[in-house]
Structure 1
Amino acid sequence: WTMLGMGTLISVLGIVQRVTWNHRLYWIGPEIEGGAPFGPFVNRAHFAGLMVVIVPMALALVIARGPGGRRHRRRRPTWIDRLRERNSTETDATRLIPFLVLAVGGAALVSGSRGGAVALLAALLAMTVGSLAHGRSWSGWAARLALGSVLIVLAGVWIGGDIVYGTVERLAGELGRPEESSRLLVWADALRLWRAAPMVGTGFATFGVAFPPFRTLQAPVIFSHAESDWVQLLTDTGVVGLALALAAVGSLGLALLRRYRHTEGRWARALSLAGLVALGGSVVQGIANFNLPIMSNFIYLAAAVGLAVRASDAGADRSTE
């Protein structure tokens, strides 16, 4: 709930900032030239990376809630019955989660981050497939998640359709003309840097210092990072560091997948799926963005994975507190 509440506040702030943008942080800060801030983040991709973690964890609360006892009726409930159920004393705060997820997911698309949009849609697809793969008991939730994914896209279009369309156009342009992509040119130069120290790299956070002698891209900007978590991890730590990072991610992914398959509790299973999707979404987001070195994103991902690994069936009773 803390993650979802904070994500909603940041999303609302970012949307309001986007609508009333005057090229200044918080409307009173220094003027930004050429940047793309969203909410408290100077880079919109960092906001989208945080939402990739928050959205699956929020959906886990909905899935873990399970069907209530009042749903089992002999006759099909009418819209009046559903309205009464939502207004009854038995209704808890999880009823609000789908609306908050729409706001958070729509804001991630409106932020304009291409990598964030791809990672978020991949995370929603993974949540849907994961629910469907569990069997008939979760097939209803898979359909709801699929519908929710469509609604998130529609919410993003409704909030800022021109921004979403522009994001799609920029993504298509970069894929269609890779030779003009500054990101790919930086990666090519970064690989030349990696060849200078292939095994152990140049050291953590040294890209901004070590990169200039290998840079061929002519642009009036300073590259302090490689526009990719994985490319920079390779240049900073070499093959050894990249192999250790991949091994850590792989072991966590396998542990979460094993827990998802073998645990019996609905709460633990839903949280395991959410942690697995958040981990995978962050991996995808990090391919073409500088994401996890942002401390807020790293802490949220670590908290999500930690909760998923340590989730117990008893947590279902406290999931809505």
Structure 2
Amino acid sequence: MSVMVFALLACWLILHIRKQLTTGTAFSQSLPMLGLLLTAPLWAELQLTLDLSIDPANTLQSSLLGFALTGLFSLTLLMVRSKQRIRLLCYALVGSGLFQALYGSMMTLTGIEYLFFVPKESYFGTATGTFVNRNHLAGYLVLTLSVGIGLMISTLDGESASNWRDFFRRILTTLLGNKARLRIILVIMVAGLVMTHSRMGNTAFFASLAIAGVLALLLSKRSTKATIILIGSLIIIDIFVVGTFFGVEKVVQRLENSSEASETRDEVNTYTLGAIQDNLLTGSGAGTYYTNFPAYRQYDAGRGFYDHAHNDYFEFASDYGVVVTSCLMLAVLWAFISAIRAQIKRKTALMRGIAFSATMAIIALAMHSTVDFNLQIPANAATFVVILALGQISLYQKSRRR
């Protein structure tokens, strides 16, 4: 992954030197955010240089991944500079989510439970796609669903219906026309999400959809009845129709059975706080959680090994220290504010749509990260930085005729 990203960056630099490509407004306006994202891999290099890391090999690998993710963020800003490319990127993400949903669902429904050409070792009876952990498939589907819903919103007609006949005609056109294909894809992806039986994955999806929907209606002066109906149908149809056939009651049952007695994540978080306090500013080294945590855990954390904390905020703070972690959180907040501003200022439906996508994705992952480690999974982290870049593009990309 890193080699591919660095090779693409090298190609862009060559073309830029030859005056064939320019940086563009979105990239230049996002330089402060890029600097905040670079603090993590640069600090990992300093941890190696100053001998602050307790596991140099993993710190070096995390540094490499950090530079690759920052490069991917930059490439998205530099290359996605037209409506056609924005749509192509969004449909590529939605297509990837559709594949994961179909693959995970079929493996579960047929009983032939494989990952990517490898038999499953855990999470039988639940969809995991090509991921090892069902929660990471859920996180990935929520990110790609956010993009798909934003695309759907961008296709809505901004004009109000003149009468009820016109109103119902437009609804039928939406249900039976080209938009129906995208709506069916979203239904399939939601079915895959429900079949993961991920508690926070499903909770984060519906909560972020509702919150982002309310924000869109409050912020955008161009919100219409169609937007309200779309968001309402996503919540109602997906919960009561899709959920009935694909096991939403199992998700509810898992939520009801959750308790401090049945979970060890709260104990893990408590002991991780001890690790954070001992290396508050410097961290123990990027990617060293697996090595560092055994020195702090107690018997009540269970018998299993923890290669990651089930809390992205705590793991970043333990590995990098609170200063770098704050810089990363500030970068995400920056993109969130950009997406909010885009929904207020932009007149283009596509820009408002991808701004909605970024808003929803950031809210969802902010919630999911409190109980899981999606940002430690390269596929999910890469998808997230691309969506952060889309949030910047939604505000700063200028409309061009060609």
The CA distance in 1 between the partners of 2:169 and 2:329, in whole Å, is 52
Q: Distance in 2 between matches of 1:98 and 1:53?
A: 16
Distance apart, 1:12 and its partner CA: 0.9
Alignment map for 1:277-288 (pairs within 5 Å): 277-288=360-371
| Equivalent position of 2:289 in the other structure | 207
- Report the AA paired with residue 170 of structure 1: R
Q: Secondary structure at the match of 1:211?
A: helix
Deviations 1:231-272 (CA, angstroms, capped at 9, x unpaired): 111111122122112211222211221222122222212211
1:20 maps to 110
Deviates more, 1:56-65 or 1:14-23: 14-23
* Aligned equivalent of 1:108: 193
* Counterpart pick for 1:242 among 304, 325, 330: 325
What amino acid sits opposite 2:233 in the alignment?
L
Contact conserved, 2:158 with 2:223, CA < 8 A, in 1? no
Residues of 2 paired with 1:82 and 1:258: CA distance?
A: 29
Output the amino acid matched with 1:166. Answer: K
Give distance in 2, aligned partners of 1:265 and 1:281.
Answer: 25
Residue in 1 that maps onto 2:226: 140
Percentage of identical aligned residues: 21
Tell me which residue corresponds to 1:48: 138
Secondary structure of the residue that 1:98 maps to in structure 2?
A: helix
CA RMSD of aligned residues (A): 2.9
Counterpart pick for 2:121 among 32, 39, 60: 32
- Aligned-residue offset at 1:229: 0.8
Cα distance in 2 for residues equivalent to 1:85 and 1:288: 37
SS of the equivalent of 1:178 reads: coil
Distance 1:61 1:165, change over 3 A: same
Distance 1:72 1:251, change over 3 A: closer
C-alpha separation in 1, matches of 2:337 and 2:171: 40
Say yes or no: does 1:58 pair with 2:142: no
Rounded Cα–Cα distance in structure 2 between residues aligned with 1:31 and 1:285: 24
Deviation of the 1:213 alpha carbon: 1.5
Q: How does 1:1-321 map to 2 (within 5 A)?
A: 1-22=91-112, 24-25=114-115, 29-33=118-122, 38-67=128-157, 76=165, 91=177, 93-133=178-218, 134-135=220-221, 137-161=223-247, 164-174=248-258, 177-216=259-298, 217=300, 219-311=302-394, 312=397, 314=399
The 1:37/1:235 distance shift into structure 2, 3 A limit, reads farther
Shift of the 282–272 alpha-carbon distance from structure 1 to 2, 3 Å rule, reads same
Cα 1:158–1:264 shift into 2, 3 Å: same
- Preserved CA contact (<8 Å) 1:106 1:153: no
* CA shift in 2, pair 1:308/1:94, >3 Å: farther
Q: How far did residue 314 of structure 1 move? A: 4.0
TM-aligned CA distance change 1:147 to 1:81, over 3 Å? closer
Q: In structure 1, how many angstroms separate the alpha carbons of the residues matched to 2:277 and 2:324?
A: 15
Cα 1:61–1:314 change in 2 (3 A) is: farther
Cα distance in 2, alignment partners of residues 81 and 310 from structure 1: 30
Deviations 1:47-89 (A, max 9, x none): 11111111121112222123299x96777169899778977xx
CA shift in 2, pair 1:168/1:268, >3 Å? same
Shift of 1:124: 1.4
One-letter code of the match for 2:393? R
The answer on whether the counterparts of 2:204 and 2:367 sit within 8 Å (CA) in structure 1 is yes
**Normalising by structure 1, what TM-score?**
0.85
Higher deviation after alignment, 273-282 or 222-231: 273-282
What are structure 2's unaligned runs of at least 5 residues? 1-90
CA contact (8 A) 1:127 1:145 kept: no
Amino acid at match of 1:29: V
Distance 1:172 1:235 in 2: 31
**Which deviates more, 76-85 or 100-109?**
76-85
Distance, in Å, in 2 between the alignment partners of 1:107 and 1:159 is 11
**Structure 1 alignment gaps of length 5 or more:** none
Q: Take 1:266 and 1:78, find their aligned partners in 2: how far apart are those partners?
A: 19
8 A Cα contact 2:104 2:128, kept in partner? yes
2:335, 2:391 within 8 Å by CA — same for their partners in 1? no
Relative to the length of structure 2, the TM-score reads 0.69
**Structure 1 residues 180 and 68, CA gap change in structure 2 (3 angstroms):** closer
Between the aligned partners of 2:325 and 2:372, the Cα distance in structure 1 is 16
